Structure formats: C-alpha cells, structure tokens
C-alpha cells in the first residue's frame, strides 16, 4: 500500500474536519486577542488608580457619579460646593441610560469605584467579540480577528472604559445594533425588527442623538426589503421597529411627565446645547453660554448649575417656567441666530465637522490629548488617524474588489448582497451619528462609536494586504501599504486649527486633588497649570480660592487680582475678592470690587446685598438702604434685605418704615428669628407691648437659648408690669 505524505493526508482531509479545525484555531486566536486586550486594560487600570480623579471625578463624570450614587443609596445631597441639580423633582436634563447602568453597578458592588471600570472593561472585551462577528460575516475570518485586535487595542476604547462616561457602553450598543441589522438583512422578520427597535431605544436612553438615525434606518430597511421584493412588509416592519424603540424609551418619558407634568421624551438638554453651538460667541467645543453671568450669576457653569439657568431665564421672562419651556427658550434663541446669520451658522457647522473628523482629540470635560500623551500605555496605542486612514483604504479596496464576501469569496449571492447592505448601514450610521453633533458642540468622546465602526473596514484592509503578501503579490501589497501611509499622513491634517491646553490638563488634576483634600499636590498642579498657560484666569481664581481656605489671604488676593487683570469682566471673581476684602475689614477696596462686579452683572441680588452690608459697616446708611432695596427687588424670596433695611430705618427713628420692612421679611420667611426679634423691638418702641410680646415669644420659640431674646423678654415683662402697676388714669412715664 502506497504511503502518503503528511501534506497529502492534510489535503485529503474531509472538508468538515478541516473547517472544524480552522474554527477551533480561530477561537484560539480570538481568545489570545481577548487575553492581550485584558492585559492592556489591566495595565491601564494600574495607571488609572493612581490618577487624582480616579475616586474624585470631575465635571460630567462627577455629575454621573453623583446621580448614580444617589439612585443607589437614596441620598441626594449634592457634592460640597455644587448646586443642587434637583434631579428627583425635574425632568431628566441628560439621558438617564448610562447613570441607570452605573447605579446598578454601584448598588451591586457597594459603591466601589473599581467595579464600574471592571464592568466597562469586560464590556469592551465583549465589543471585541461583537466586532469580530460582524467583520467575519462581512469580510471573512481573518478580517474578523483583526477587527477584534483593533478594538482591543484602540486607545479610545481602553481609555473610556476606565472613565465614568458612556462611550464604552455606546460602542457596545453600536456593535450590537450592527450585528442585529446583519441578522435582519440576512432573513427579515418581525421579531428581528422588534430587536432593532429595542436596541435603538436603549441607545437613545444613553445618547439621544441616535434618534436622528432612526428615520434613515427605516428607509434603509425599506431599501433592503425592496431588493428582496418584500417591500409590502415594510409598514409592519417599520411599525414593529418604532414600537419597540418607543417601548424602550417610555420609562424615561413617563417618569418625566410624572415629575414635570409635561411631555419630555428623554431629556431637556437639547435646547441649551443648540444655543451653545449657535450664538455670536460660540467656541465650537466648550459649553460656554454668552450671558451666563446675567442668567446664573457665574462666569461658567456645569451640569449641577442648570437649575440656576432655569431661574435666570424665569427672571428674564418674568414668570415661572418648566424645564421643557426653558429648553424651548434656548432653542428659539439658537434658531433666531441661525436665521439672522445663516452664513456664520453654516461656517460653525463646517468647522465643527472638521474638528470632529480631525486628528486631535477635542477636549470637553477633560483634555484628552494630554490624557493620552501623558499615559505610558495609551500614547503607543492606535489613534483616530489610524482608524480613519484604514477605513478609507478599506472602502477603496472594497470598491476595487467589487464585493463584500466572507472567507475566500465563496459566499452565495444572497450573503454577499446582505454584506453590501450592512456596509451601507455602517456608512449611514457613521455619517448621520457624527453629523448629529455638528449643530451643537464636538468633543473627542462623542466620536468613539464612529471610530469603532471605522475599524471594521480597516480590518478588511489589513486582511487584504496580508493575503497579498502571503500570495507573493508584493507589488499590490507595497502599493496598498504606501497608500495607507499617505492616507495616514493626510488624516493628520488639522483643517480647523485646534490646540489642546496643557494648562487646563494641570488645572483638572489640581481640581481633583483639591476635592480629595490633598492641598499640597493641588497647589503644585495649579502652579504647573500657570506655568503651562499663564493667560488662563480660571487657574488663578481656583488657586486663590484654595489659598484663602488655607488662610493665605495675601497670596489669594494676589491671584484673584491677576485673574481679574486677565479678564476684567470676571464678575463672579470680583464678588469673591470683594467678600474676602470685606472680611479683612478692607472696606473701601471691598466696596470698589462690589461695584465693579455689579457694573458687569447688575442683576445679581446677592452682590447688592453684600454691598449693602459693607456700606452699613462703613456708615453710609442711605447708600446701604438703596443697595438692600435693589437686592430685595432682584431676590423677592429673600427676607434678609428687608431685615437690614428695617434695622437702618429703625436706627434713624423711622419705626413705621422699619415695621413694614420686618413684616415683608416675615412674608418671605415666617421662621426668620432676626425679623421677629427686630419687629418686637420696633413694636415695643411704639408702645405696642402686647404685639411685641407675641413677636418676641415667636422668636424665642425659634431660638429658645438666644441670650438677647431672653434679656429682651425680661425687660419687656418688667415694662408691662410697670405699666399695669401705674395709678389709674395716670399714663405711665416712659423709662429713661
């Protein structure tokens, strides 16, 4: 019997056995890729735990952390120094999906800061598997494994899986959606249409921009059905998709109606975000509101401050407003700007699109460029230019080959057709989802789901180049590599100028250290921020505030003055400086700063009140009364201005005016001790002893241990006894 060589036996192996062997080898390679991905994430986690904001999150992550912990524990006390965002009693300002996800992790893990990072990293590895499945089905086995490797190593995936932000969850939902679309395109059915709608709805609860993709998705589904001569099914398919989508969204809508009494589909942040992106002073990338000083009394704002914006709009409009009405107010202002400046608005949109697709990671709540550059690991991982250039090369190769087919191109025609349709769906998603941010503002974190999609054709490009090398087709392989290098260089072209601020990066670190109570490291980072960018006033302001808490008032004042020198319109800081000078009895300087702040922001009732107190201490009572009256006009719910006006009127003998002001104070706050006590004093001076006794008794009920009230009570009782003991018909003589 003839003996066969090992290669002959391998060639003679039955096809199913060879297929099973390849399948097993693919699983082994995928397992090794996932193991390497886990290693990268473990290495980054070791870096992350030493970062100051690991357990002291900043900005949007701080808001997410607060909201999620409050859901998990029931404690809605806002963080120190932050405004109460009023989440339980108002419609959602931001989509709630990610915070629900985060709250569930906190509830299960006892609030651990490590747990959400581990869960998100596990989700990232699951995204690698989903990317592998999708690319394998579209472009073949090798492309699937390469896609998994790219997703495992892409810097943005690793970074955002360690952040308390939604991008990692959005990447997972994006790849789930594309895989479900592939299943539906392969065999359209109502159940799969329901599943598509459910995934879109869940996505919308995390990032509502996906709703702009929903109509495009329905048209794509009609196109697919038409290609299969099944267009008659489209109405029911569309109905099932939309119904499932709304079913997923409706918990947020119902909750918003219950707390707000009006229809809010998911959240109310659309209006203010549209206005941020469409006004005369937009920065394209930061959430800056031009008239923030007038609306909220601050030079800047964060998510915790939205109730201040609502109250500012109410004051401007002159009536109470719901959060949805305030959103519409900002939308109208944005649209009015677009109508009156169409060319400028279009220019803004084009510039934002250039930034969104540009090479640099645009900062938003963090300076991503320096987060990556200062990481020993992340700086060496593939970035957006790699993804974009690979995507373009992959599309070119797909067009050259003229087909989308798995393995060696042996797929039947229906499968090739479904693959081409999914590639179209991917392109539509990338285009519409990225365009959905252009009217608002852009940031590096917004494009991560798009980057994940770009990596799939990039995987196909790498697989194709590898197959050419194995087939010894060195000329086309060299041309392909050269083309990728050219595309990669072009992807680094920064069309819209943008320079990340290293000072802001140090400032963020200083803020985190400050929140943690690590004063020395915070001061060191503030100083590093000033060295990196000596023209940023917020750094001097923050350093001054920290130095003030440490009792280093002269240094604090110097930093405040430097910030004001850079930005003379920094009204909020002028008020802080004035308050510090006031506390140090430097009244002339304090009054000058109060007046300068009010010249910039004349509708700040608290500043008028502080000015009135300083003028009172200086003895300028008429000007103080005028300041208190202005404060009372601007803050009608405040009682203190009326109390201070009453004191000054009483001091000059105007008891009628003083009593009137004390009564106004009590209308605003019936439980204010000072108003009751001073009203008792004024009534007693008028001889209305019984009324004075009632007011004094109320004051003592509020503060039973107050020595002034106790002494006044004894004096009043003595006076009442003296008057009762006076001879009949003889008026009591006033006591000297």
Give the range of the structural domain holding residue 702, as residue numbers without chain letter: 642-723
pLDDT score of 411 more than 70: no
Q: What is the pLDDT of residue 26?
A: 87
Residue closest to 63 by CA, chosen among 14, 32, 99, 24: 99
pTM for the model stands at 0.88
Percentage of the chain modeled with pLDDT above 90: 76
- Convert the pLDDT of each residue in 42-99 to its tens digit: 999 999 999 999 999 999 999 999 999 999 999 999 998 899 999 999 999 999 999 9
Q: What is the pLDDT of residue 15?
A: 52
Q: What is the pLDDT of residue 406?
A: 47
Q: What is the pLDDT of residue 407?
A: 45
Q: What is the pLDDT of residue 399?
A: 87
- Asked if the structure places residue 168 within a domain, the reply is yes
**Residue keyed to tokens 């299960």:** 108
**Residue keyed to tokens 């409706």:** 250
Within this chain, do residues 617 and 655 fall inside the same structural domain, yes or no? no
- Convert the pLDDT of each residue in 571-628 to its tens digit: 889 999 999 999 999 999 999 999 999 998 888 888 999 999 999 999 999 999 999 9
Quote the tokens at residue 358.
């540009």
- Asked if the structure places residue 557 within a domain, the reply is no
Within this chain, do residues 84 and 179 fall inside the same structural domain, yes or no? yes
**Residue keyed to tokens 């050219």:** 486
Residue that is last in its domain, among 613, 636, 659: 636
pLDDT score of 350 more than 90: yes
pLDDT score of 1 more than 50: no
CATH number at residue 632: 1.25.40.10
Residue that is last in its domain, among 441, 464, 491: 491
Residue that is last in its domain, among 474, 491, 508: 491
Q: Name the DSSP class of 620.
A: -
- Asked if the structure places residue 70 within a domain, the reply is yes
Q: What is the pLDDT of residue 736?
A: 39
Q: What is the pLDDT of residue 291?
A: 82
**Mean pLDDT on 351-369:** 92
pLDDT score of 409 more than 70: no
pLDDT score of 735 more than 50: no
Residue closest to 352 by CA, chosen among 453, 282, 448: 282
- Convert the pLDDT of each residue in 633-661 to its tens digit: 988 889 999 999 999 999 999 999 999 99
Please give the mean pLDDT across all residues of the chain.
Answer: 90
Within this chain, do residues 192 and 53 fall inside the same structural domain, yes or no? yes
Within this chain, do residues 53 and 185 fall inside the same structural domain, yes or no? yes
Q: What is the pLDDT of residue 244?
A: 97
Within this chain, do residues 631 and 652 fall inside the same structural domain, yes or no? no
CB 405 within 8 A of CB 412: no
Res. 416 pLDDT band, cuts 50 70 90:
low
Q: What is the pLDDT of residue 9?
A: 44
Q: What is the pLDDT of residue 12?
A: 45
Centroid of chain to Cα 278: 19
CB 381 within 8 A of CB 40: yes
- Convert the pLDDT of each residue in 482-540 to its tens digit: 999 999 999 999 999 999 999 999 999 999 999 999 999 999 999 999 999 999 999 99
Within this chain, do residues 389 and 440 fall inside the same structural domain, yes or no? yes
Percentage of the chain modeled with pLDDT above 70: 93
CB-based contacts of 467, cutoff 8 Å, min separation 6: 142
Within this chain, do residues 628 and 655 fall inside the same structural domain, yes or no? no
Res. 18 pLDDT band, cuts 50 70 90:
low
- Asked if the structure places residue 465 within a domain, the reply is yes
Number of domains the chain contains? 3
Within this chain, do residues 474 and 603 fall inside the same structural domain, yes or no? no
Within this chain, do residues 632 and 652 fall inside the same structural domain, yes or no? no
Within this chain, do residues 626 and 661 fall inside the same structural domain, yes or no? no
Within this chain, do residues 127 and 141 fall inside the same structural domain, yes or no? yes
**Mean pLDDT on 163-178:** 97
Q: To the nearest 10°, report the CA torsion of 297, 301, 306, 312.
A: 20
Look at phi and psi of residue 412 and say left if phi exceeds 0, alpha if psi is from -120 to 50, else beta. beta
- Asked if the structure places residue 605 within a domain, the reply is yes
Q: What is the pLDDT of residue 11?
A: 46
Quote the tokens at residue 30.
């995928």
Q: What is the pLDDT of residue 147?
A: 97
Res. 426 pLDDT band, cuts 50 70 90:
very high
Within this chain, do residues 485 and 585 fall inside the same structural domain, yes or no? no
- Convert the pLDDT of each residue in 302-336 to its tens digit: 899 999 999 889 988 989 999 999 999 999 999 99
């Amino acid at each position: 019997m003839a003996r066969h060589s090992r290669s002959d036996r391998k060639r003679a192996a039955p096809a199913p056995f060879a297929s099973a062997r390849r399948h097993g080898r693919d699983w082994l390679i995928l397992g090794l890729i996932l193991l390497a991905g886990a290693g990268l994430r473990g290495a980054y986690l070791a870096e992350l735990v030493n970062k100051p904001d690991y357990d002291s999150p900043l900005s949007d992550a701080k808001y997410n952390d607060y909201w999620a912990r409050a859901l998990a524990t029931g404690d809605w006390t806002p963080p120190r120094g932050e405004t109460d965002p009023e989440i339980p009693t108002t419609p959602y300002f931001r989509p709630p999906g990610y915070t629900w996800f985060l709250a569930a992790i906190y509830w299960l893990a006892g609030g651990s800061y490590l747990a959400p990072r581990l869960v998100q990293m596990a989700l990232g590895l699951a995204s690698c598997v989903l990317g592998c499945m999708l690319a394998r089905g579209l472009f073949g086995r090798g492309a699937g494994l390469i896609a998994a490797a790219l997703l495992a190593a892409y810097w943005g995936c690793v970074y955002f899986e360690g952040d308390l932000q939604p991008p990692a969850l959005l990447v997972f939902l994006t790849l789930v959606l594309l895989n479900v679309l592939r299943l539906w395109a392969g065999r359209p059915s109502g159940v799969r249409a329901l599943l598509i709608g459910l995934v879109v709805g869940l996505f919308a609860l995390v990032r509502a921009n996906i709703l702009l993709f929903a109509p495009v998705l329905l048209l794509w589904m009609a196109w697919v059905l038409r290609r299969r001569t099944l267009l008659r099914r489209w109405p029911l398919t569309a109905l099932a998709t939309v119904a499932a989508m709304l079913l997923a969204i409706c918990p947020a809508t119902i909750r918003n109606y219950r707390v707000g009494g009006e229809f809010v589909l998911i959240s109310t942040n659309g209006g203010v975000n549209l206005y941020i992106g469409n006004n005369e002073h937009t920065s394209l990338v930061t959430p800056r509101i031009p008239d923030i000083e007038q609306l909220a009394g601050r030079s800047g704002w964060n998510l915790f401050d939205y109730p201040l914006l609502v109250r500012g709009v109410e004051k401007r409009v002159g009536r109470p407003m719901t959060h949805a009405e305030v959103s519409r107010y900002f939308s109208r202002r944005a649209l009015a700007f677009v109508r009156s400046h169409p060319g400028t608005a279009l220019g803004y949109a084009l510039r934002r699109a250039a930034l969104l697709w540009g090479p640099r990671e645009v900062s938003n709540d963090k300076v991503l460029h320096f987060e990556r550059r200062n990481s020993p690991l992340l700086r060496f991982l593939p970035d957006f230019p790699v993804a974009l250039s690979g995507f373009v090369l992959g599309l070119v190769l797909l067009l050259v080959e003229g087909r989308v087919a798995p393995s060696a191109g042996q797929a039947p025609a229906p499968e090739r057709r479904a693959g081409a349709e999914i590639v179209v769906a991917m392109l539509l998603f990338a285009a519409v989802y990225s365009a959905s941010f252009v009217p608002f503002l852009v940031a590096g974190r917004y494009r991560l789901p798009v980057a994940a999609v770009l990596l799939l054709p990039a995987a196909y490009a790498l697989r194709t180049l590898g197959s050419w090398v194995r087939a010894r087709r060195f000329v086309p392989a060299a041309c392909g590599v050269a083309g990728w290098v050219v595309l990669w260089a072009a992807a680094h072209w920064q069309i819209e100028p943008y320079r990340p601020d290293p000072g802001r990066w140090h400032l963020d670190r200083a803020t985190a250290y400050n929140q943690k109570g690590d004063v020395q490291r915070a001061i060191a980072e503030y100083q590093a921020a000033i060295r990196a960018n000596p023209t940023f006033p917020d750094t001097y302001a923050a350093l001054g505030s920290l130095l003030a808490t440490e009792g280093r008032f002269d240094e604090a004042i110097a930093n405040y003055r430097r910030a004001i020198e850079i930005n003379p319109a920094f009204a909020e800081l002028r008020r802080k400086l004035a308050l510090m000078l006031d506390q140090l009895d430097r009244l002339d300087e304090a009054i000058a700063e109060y007046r300068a702040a009010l010249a910039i922001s004349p509708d700040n009732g608290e500043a008028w009140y502080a000015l009135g107190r300083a003028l009172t201490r200086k003895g300028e009572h008429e000007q103080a009364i005028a300041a208190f009256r202005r404060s009372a006009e601007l803050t009608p719910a405040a009682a203190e201005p009326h109390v201070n006006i009453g004191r000054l009127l009483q001091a000059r003998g105007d008891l009628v005016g003083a009593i009137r002001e004390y009564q106004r104070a009590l209308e605003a706050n019936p439980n204010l001790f000072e108003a009751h006590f001073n009203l008792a004093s004024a009534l007693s001076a008028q001889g209305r002893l019984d009324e004075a006794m009632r007011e004094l008794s109320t004051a003592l009920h509020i503060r039973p241990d107050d020595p002034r009230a106790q002494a006044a009570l004894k004096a009043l009782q003595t006076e009442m006894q003296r008057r009762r003991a006076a001879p009949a018909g003889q008026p009591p003589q006033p006591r000297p």
